[in-house]
Amino acid sequence: MTRVFINSEEDAKKMGIPKGEWELIKMERKEQNKSTRKNKYNNKKPLVDGIKFDSKKEARFYENLKLLKAAGEVKEFELQPKFVLLEKNKDRVTGRGIKYIADFKITYSDGSVEVVDVKGHKTQVYKLKKKLLLAKYPDINFREVVNV
């Protein structure tokens, strides 16, 4: 198998990759590069119950969920649930597929289920993946939490 590196829009055109897919690849690469750099504000990821969270807001939301579970309002919750947006075998660009990882999936005592994402800043990749999530799973009960 020959590896082909796509570094420009011209390379993408030569490979027959639609412009929209190329834009998504560029955004994902930009996000990956950001995650390898030292954090701009030198903030530390909080550790609660042996779990490392991406933000203080997310950690606070987790602590609130534990209280709601103890009170009986929440039956159970899941951390970092994954949703497939594009299967690996259909991803002609990277072959890795595209997935959306939410912060929490909450099952309430009445049986209703809610997917929650705690946000401080909405990146371009997040906005796009959220649109894809809501398009692929139209019946999902999705909520963004900005203030905790």
pLDDT tens-digit map of 14-72: 777 777 777 777 777 777 666 555 555 566 788 888 889 888 899 999 999 999 999 99
Entry pTM: 0.68
Task: Indicate the domain borders of the chain.
Answer: 1-37, 44-145
- List of residues 6+ apart from 69 with CB closer than 8 A: 75, 76, 77
Domain 44-145 belongs in CATH node 3.40.1350.10: yes
Cα-Cα-Cα-Cα torsion 24, 123, 139, 103, nearest 10 degrees, comes to: 120
